[in-house]
Amino acid sequence: MAFYIARRLLATIPVLFVLSVIVFLIIYLIPGDPAAVMLGDGASPETIEALREQMGLNLPLLQQYGRWIGHALQGNLGDSLFMRQSVRAALAEHLGPTLSLAVLAELIAVVIALPLGIRAASRRGEAADKALTGFSLFGITVPGFVLSMFTVLLFSVQLKWLPVSGYKPLSAGLWTHLQYLILPALSLGIVQAALLARVVRSSMLDVLNESFVKTALAKGVGERGIVYRHVLHNSWLPILTVVGGSFGTLIAGAAVIESIFNIPGMGQLLVNSVQRRDYSVIQGVVLFVAFAYVLVNLVVDLLYAIVDPRVRLQ
Amino acid sequence: MTAEPLLQIRELKTYFHTERGRVSPVDGVSLEVGKGEIVGIVGESGCGKSATAQSVLRLFDEKRLASYEGEIRYGERDLLRLTPKQMRSVRGNEISMIFQDPLSSLNPVHTIGDQIVETLRLHQSIGRREAAKKAVELLRLTGIPAPERRAREYPHQLSGGMRQRVMIAIALACQPQLLIADEPTTALDVTIQAQILELIQDLNRRLGMSVMLITHDLGVVAETCSRVVVMYLGQVVESGSVRDLFRKPLHPYTIGLMRSVPRLDGDRQRELPAVPGSVPPLHQIPSGCRFAPRCPYADDKCRSSQPELAALPGTDTQVRCWHAGRIAGWEAAQ
Amino acid sequence: MTSLTSLDSATSLDAAEDAAENSADSITTADERSPAELAAGRLRLRRENRRLFVRRFLANKSAVIGSALLLLVAVVSLLAPWLTGRDPYALEVADRLKPPGAEYPLGTDNFGRDLLTRVLYGTRMSAEIGFVVALSSSLLGLVVGLYAGYVKWLDQILMRVMDGLFAFPAILLAIAMMAALGPSVGNLMICLTIVFVPSIARLVRSSTLVAKEQTYVEAMHALGASHNRIVWKHLMPAALSPLIVQGSFVFAEAIIVEAALSFLGAGIPAPTPSLGNLLSDGKLFIYNSSWMTIFPGLALVVVVLAMNLFGDGLRDLLDPHARRAGKKR
């Protein structure tokens, strides 16, 4: 098991490296002088030069990367040009709402997808299975942000059940918190559920074909026992992988949806920064989310070891 | 038939309803297993022996794939008439089954002990702790060293032979009257094979448990069984006592199978003859005698009409061949 | 191997036959039939294949519905300028925020522009971007995947870069790049291509790794074929049918990401009618002018649905293996 963990950790390093290089290089996609673009038209050559110096743009490329990643590893992602605060502080401020939204959406996705996928797999070909096929087509076809605008139209504008937009932190009370989050989380979660349910179904079908299912049947285990004790227990790996992988999609989806619901999360921070050309914040957000995404997947891989004794006892 | 019958299969037909139409891997099989008897069922792969075995426990998916016809009489009951719930209380309790590949047949994410406990608790009202204790006893009974430790291990930590012993322990948990062993030694090394067969024989003698042994290996049958049923393309072609059948096989298929077994005292220079051709797929069943296309004795009659399984006068051998009488004479003359 | 019918069975076996065919001029074959006879036979086979393909196509519901919808989208995209006879930029201040009615079938927006015309143009824009992105990322991914799969040392480098790109959620990476490049249709196409190359490259690479191990490829080596010839003539066909299927999904996905980016103001600059921009306008008036949200939203769903159904159908037809794996009991 120690070997397995070490191998997984090592395999993560090159991915993180390439990822950081890509984020670093984003600045160089800016046509012309990044410092001049950031400061806008009215800036004097002196201010531009000062910013170049501050950002280290005058150093050789390799050295720039070294400086940048060195700082990033210490948690220093630079300063925002517009918000008079460090990127780290800005991230910390906007992390909560996004995390709340993503976790709630993931929860909704799992709660919908698990029973649906299990039902479809154990009654393949029947109505439940066909419903799942339709649902998963719906999931890949209707983008989360379109769905959420439709839900706003229905629940907030027509029925007036829920607030149209805004955000109240958890400290304002769980119910208030959820009231503002439920619509965005539902739209994100439903789309995610469609994908997840399909994975649950297909990974369960794979296991249903295994010989030990026949053994269980021959032992006199009933349908429920087969599904829950034998099949589901062996299907967790692909399901976990998708749940872990969906975290990144959810954060990205949250970024778009936050702007619909006016939720002060990382998505809104990103979008605002794009409009202000605040590149250090853009880099910070993207680097942070991608790192988190890779690390979540790493954690999922390590969870395998707990779920599957074959990995654990390797 | 010396022993009192425990299981009587009469005209069993198993249908698979596939996208390409209906096939019947088991097509009118009749056979008996007596109390305390070990009956071998032999044939090449694709002959329906395994499908017959699985049909006894109705393991095929009756909602989507399979349907059965005929009768499987077990004691007072016809297994084909039982409700799903009644059937579940037969499986693993009164009739148990073990499979070819013990690794894939054991659930990789549960400990061996838990997998035995599951069977015990399904069929008996027994506490978790007591069941765990009993599981260790069962492992000991099947000859697994250090059973207390093994019970806490997972299937992949055991050797192939050990795994099959575990499968047998699971099968024995509720002291069934009949064990169906579907190619139990095929996936194992030769030395381990012998040990597993010995274990099965030993359990048969000590517990009086009947065994239905499915194999493609005539050597296994000769060593282990008292009676044998030879199957070809979903039908029984010959059955009888092991002694009679080995001394005087009557169906050309049986003869072919026997010739393809290497003999220690045989001429080593001579090439081993095999049954020519191969088992045709189920949707291309020949008309007439099903074995005719591969049979050296086949004539027009064989190709046009199908022979019935008929008892040979004066023996308890049954054979499905138009030429059985002549073959009996020919073989005697040799 | 360019026609759709030969793609139908672009399996390794087929490619092997092809290989045998290509080397036939240097190796005497045992076949006694005349070249004319052979050619006639091959033609017959091809015609038979085509007929089979058509029958399977018609039996495939998602392929038929997807193609029909796709045709609709294509017609709308091509004929957008003539369908309503209106200018998508023409402002009619007096007719601001008119609900759907006789004069404006889908209503007008906050500037009094005809929504139907703008939705048609937006659909056209979506289709255009989806098409270009699917095509360019398929081509780029094909090259990267083939060479990564064929050349060992390149594999390490190329696939590490692809892994790195793959680690970003698609929308996020696209937003960051668009922020640097600045919003424009061309830049959007470039960014989306970069975002979608890794998934294609991975797919092509894995099929290449399998095809490379086939005996006939080794035989080609022995016959002295150049690396480039092996890659393009023998490994590429094996990757083609999964590539086309994946390409159709990238088409759909690119349309979604484009809409999301434009919606956020990081995609296509404002007055240009794109479905994302229309939805973005709709968001501002969601209270009183729901049509500004509903119709662009529906149009987006229809375009994506068409592509997804088409891709699903295509996979069933080109890659029956994948279907069986997906539907196995």
The DSSP line for C138-196 is HHHHHHHHHHHHH-HHHHHHHHHHHHHHHTS-HHHHHHHHHHHH-S-HHHHHHHHHHHH
Q: What is the per-residue pLDDT across B245-283, written as a single tens digit (0 to 9) for each?
A: 888 888 999 988 888 776 666 555 655 566 777 788 887
What's the pLDDT band for C6 if we cut at 50, 70, 90? very low
- With 60 as the cut, is the pLDDT of residue B120 above it? yes
Q: So what's the pLDDT on residue C319?
A: 64
Q: Among residues A30, A92, A18, which one has the least CA distance to residue A55? A: A30
SS3 state of residue B15: strand
CA separation, residue C46 to residues C14, C50, C53, C236 (Å): 12, 6, 10, 21
State the Cα–Cα distance between residues A170 and A151, nearest whole angstrom: 23
Q: Which residues of chain A have a CB within 8 Å of the CB of C263?
A: 145, 256, 259
Q: How far is CA C213 from the centre of its chain?
A: 28
- Could you say which of A153, A209, A279 has the minimum Cβ distance to residue C290? A153
Q: So what's the pLDDT on residue A308?
A: 79
A266 or C62, which is more confident? A266
- With 80 as the cut, is the pLDDT of residue C307 above it? yes
Q: Sort C57 into a burial class: Cβ within 10 Å, 0-12 / 13-18 / 19+.
A: middle
Q: Closest Cα of chain B to A157: distance in Å?
A: 47
Q: So what's the pLDDT on residue B264?
A: 61
Amino acid identity at B223? E
Q: What is the DSSP letter of B311?
A: E
| Chains in contact with A, counting 3 or more C-beta pairs less than 8 Å apart as contact | B, C
Element (H, E) at B24: strand B21-34
Residue C72 lies in a domain: no
**How high is the ipTM of this complex?**
0.86
Q: So what's the pLDDT on residue B135?
A: 95
Q: Chain C residue with minimal CA distance to A152?
A: C286
Bridge partners (DSSP) of residue B232 are B235
Count of structural domains, chain C: 1
pTM here?
0.79
| Chains in contact with C, counting 3 or more C-beta pairs less than 8 Å apart as contact | A, B
Bridge partners (DSSP) of residue C114 are C108
Chains B, C: CB pairs < 8 Å: 3
CA separation, residue B74 to residues B6, B12, B28, B34 (Å): 6, 13, 18, 11
What is the number of H-type helices and E-type strands within chain B? 13, 12
Structure-token pair, residue B103: 């690794």
What's the pLDDT band for C321 if we cut at 50, 70, 90? low
Q: Do A150 and C294 touch (CB under 8 A)?
A: yes
Element (H, E) at B303: helix B300-304
State the Cα–Cα distance between residues A257 and A260, nearest whole angstrom: 5
Q: Do C328 and A14 touch (CB under 8 A)?
A: no
Q: What is the per-residue pLDDT across B279-293, written as a single tens digit (0 to 9) for each?
A: 888 878 888 899 998
What are the residue ranges spanned by the domains of chain A?
2-73, 94-313
State the Cα–Cα distance between residues B155 and B119, nearest whole angstrom: 16
Listed in order, strand segments (DSSP E) in B235-312 are 235-241, 310-311
Q: So what's the pLDDT on residue C20?
A: 41
Q: What is the per-residue pLDDT across A89-98, written as a single tens digit (0 to 9) for each?
A: 889 989 989 9
Q: Which residues of chain C have a CB within 8 Å of the CB of B64?
A: 329
Q: Do B118 and A229 touch (CB under 8 A)?
A: yes
State the Cα–Cα distance between residues B148 and B139, nearest whole angstrom: 9
Q: In three state form, how does the secondary structure of chain A look?
A: CHHHHHHHHHHHHHHHHHHHHHHHHHHHHCCCCHHHHHHCCCCCHHHHHHHHHHHCCCCCHHHHHHHHHHHHHCCCCCECCCCCCEHHHHHHHHHHHHHHHHHHHHHHHHHHHHHHHHHHHHCCCCHHHHHHHHHHHHHHHCCHHHHHHHHHHHHHHHCCCCCCCCCCCHHHCHHHHHHHHHHHHHHHHHHHHHHHHHHHHHHHHHHHCCHHHHHHHHHCCCHHHHHHHHHHHHHHHHHHHHHHHHHHHHHHHHHHHHHHHCCCCHHHHHHHHHHHCCHHHHHHHHHHHHHHHHHHHHHHHHHHHHHCHHHHCC
Q: Chain B residue with minimal CA distance to A230?
A: B107
Range of the domain at C92: 80-328
Range B256-265 contact pairs with CB under 8 angstroms and sequence separation of 24 or more: B256/B294, B257/B42, B257/B43, B257/B44, B257/B218, B257/B230, B258/B218, B261/B218, B261/B219
Rg (CA), chain A: 24
- The mean of the pLDDT values for chain B is 88
Q: What is the per-residue pLDDT across A66-91, written as a single tens digit (0 to 9) for each?
A: 888 888 888 888 888 777 788 888 89
- With 60 as the cut, is the pLDDT of residue B119 above it? yes
State the Cα–Cα distance between residues B198 and C2, nearest whole angstrom: 63
Q: Which residues of chain B have a CB within 8 Å of the CB of A215?
A: 97, 99, 105-107, 167, 170
State the Cα–Cα distance between residues A161 and A153, nearest whole angstrom: 11
- With 50 as the cut, is the pLDDT of residue B333 above it? no
- With 70 as the cut, is the pLDDT of residue C68 above it? yes
Asked whether B52 and B97 are in contact (CB, 8 A), the reply is no
Q: Which residues of chain B have a CB within 8 Å of the CB of A125?
A: 64
What's the pLDDT band for B317 if we cut at 50, 70, 90? confident
Q: So what's the pLDDT on residue C132?
A: 96
Q: So what's the pLDDT on residue C323?
A: 42
Residue C16 lies in a domain: no
Residues in CB range of A218: below 8 A, 6 or more apart: B57, B59, B91, B92, B96, B97, B99
- With 90 as the cut, is the pLDDT of residue C52 above it? no
State the Cα–Cα distance between residues A231 and A71, nearest whole angstrom: 48
Q: Among residues A27, A62, A38, A92, which one has the least CA distance to residue A278? A: A38
Average pLDDT over residues C47-76: 83
Structure-token pair, residue B256: 């072919």
The DSSP annotation for B91-132 comes to BTTTEEEE-S-HHHHS-TTS-HHHHHHHHHHHHS---HHHHH
Structure-token pair, residue B208: 């009086």
Residue C38 lies in a domain: no
Q: So what's the pLDDT on residue C27?
A: 38
State the Cα–Cα distance between residues C267 and A145, nearest whole angstrom: 15
Q: So what's the pLDDT on residue B3?
A: 67
Q: What is the DSSP letter of B260?
A: T
SS3 state of residue B274: coil
Q: Which residues of chain C have a CB within 8 Å of the CB of A18?
A: 160-161, 163-165, 167
Amino acid identity at A304? Y
Which CATH superfamily groups domain A94-313? MetI-like (1.10.3720.10)
Q: Sort C15 into a burial class: Cβ within 10 Å, 0-12 / 13-18 / 19+.
A: buried
SS3 state of residue C134: helix
Q: Among residues B204, B213, B120, B115, which one has the least CA distance to residue B166? A: B115
Q: What is the per-residue pLDDT across C196-247, written as a single tens digit (0 to 9) for each?
A: 999 999 999 988 888 888 877 778 878 878 888 888 888 888 888 889 888 9
Query: Is the CATH code 3.40.50.300 the one for domain B5-94+176-333?
Result: yes
A144-177 burial, b for 16+ CB within 10 Å, e for fewer?
Answer: bbbbbbbbbbebbeeeeebbbbebbeeeeeeeeb
Asked whether C151 and C143 are in contact (CB, 8 A), the reply is no
Range C213-222 contact pairs with CB under 8 angstroms and sequence separation of 24 or more: C214/C12, C214/C15, C214/C16, C215/C16, C216/C15, C216/C16, C216/C19, C216/C20, C219/C19, C220/C19
Amino acid identity at B92? G
Q: What is the per-residue pLDDT across C98-141, written as a single tens digit (0 to 9) for each?
A: 778 777 777 777 777 888 888 888 999 989 999 999 999 999 99
Most confident of A197-201, B6-10, B274-278: B6-10
Q: Sort A46 into a burial class: Cβ within 10 Å, 0-12 / 13-18 / 19+.
A: exposed
- Could you say which of A30, A124, A249 has the minimum Cβ distance to residue C169? A249
State the Cα–Cα distance between residues B231 and B218, nearest whole angstrom: 12
State the Cα–Cα distance between residues B26 and B233, nearest whole angstrom: 8
A295 touches chain C (CB under 8 A): no
CATH of the domain at C183: 1.10.3720.10
Residue in this structure with the two tokens 């690479």, named with its chain if needed: C205
Q: Among residues B202, B160, B198, B204, which one has the least CA distance to residue B180? A: B204
**Cα–Cα–Cα angle for A252, A255, A258, nearest 5°?**
145
Q: Do B154 and A313 touch (CB under 8 A)?
A: yes
Structure-token pair, residue B16: 């698979």
What's the pLDDT band for C8 if we cut at 50, 70, 90? very low
Q: So what's the pLDDT on residue B2?
A: 55
Average pLDDT over residues A226-249: 85
State the Cα–Cα distance between residues A237 and A226, nearest whole angstrom: 18
Q: What is the per-residue pLDDT across A286-306, written as a single tens digit (0 to 9) for each?
A: 999 888 888 888 888 888 777
- With 50 as the cut, is the pLDDT of residue A31 above it? yes
What are the residue ranges spanned by the domains of chain B?
5-94+176-333, 102-175
Structure-token pair, residue A69: 């990643």
Q: Chain C residue with minimal CA distance to B61?
A: C329
Asked whether B12 and B26 are in contact (CB, 8 A), the reply is yes
- With 80 as the cut, is the pLDDT of residue A141 above it? yes
Average pLDDT over residues B155-173: 92
